Amino acid sequence: MAKELVGHEPFAVILSDDVVVGERPCIGQLVHAYNQTHSSVVAVMEVPHQETGRYGVIGGQQVPGHGDRLYKVDRIVEKPRPEDSRRTSR
């Protein structure tokens, strides 16, 4: 919807249904990841297995050289049943 305003510039979409608290602001971490990859990035968090039906679940591979903080996402399922979420996240 904002393509005409944003053009080809980086931008952030911040949803208000989760609050992220950390030593380093989440948006700062996302900007840092974007500057490293020049690709779309999304913040995710680990949730208890029994609560996966409340969230989207991702699967992917770690990006070499970035520890366990950066993954290339190759699967996403919105609100899977807990019994189906393990197949998505591996």
Looking at the structure, tell me whether residues 39 and 56 fall in a common domain. no
Tens-digit pLDDT profile for the chain (90 aa)?
A: 888 999 988 888 888 777 878 899 889 999 999 999 899 999 988 889 899 999 889 999 998 988 888 999 999 999 988 888 766 554
- Residues paired with 57 in a beta bridge: 77
pLDDT of residue 89: 56
What total of structural domains would you count in the chain? 2
Owning domain of residue 28: 1-43
Looking at the structure, tell me whether residues 16 and 28 fall in a common domain. yes
Report residue 62 CA to chain centroid gap: 13
pLDDT of residue 22: 83
pTM over 0.85: no
pLDDT of residue 60: 92
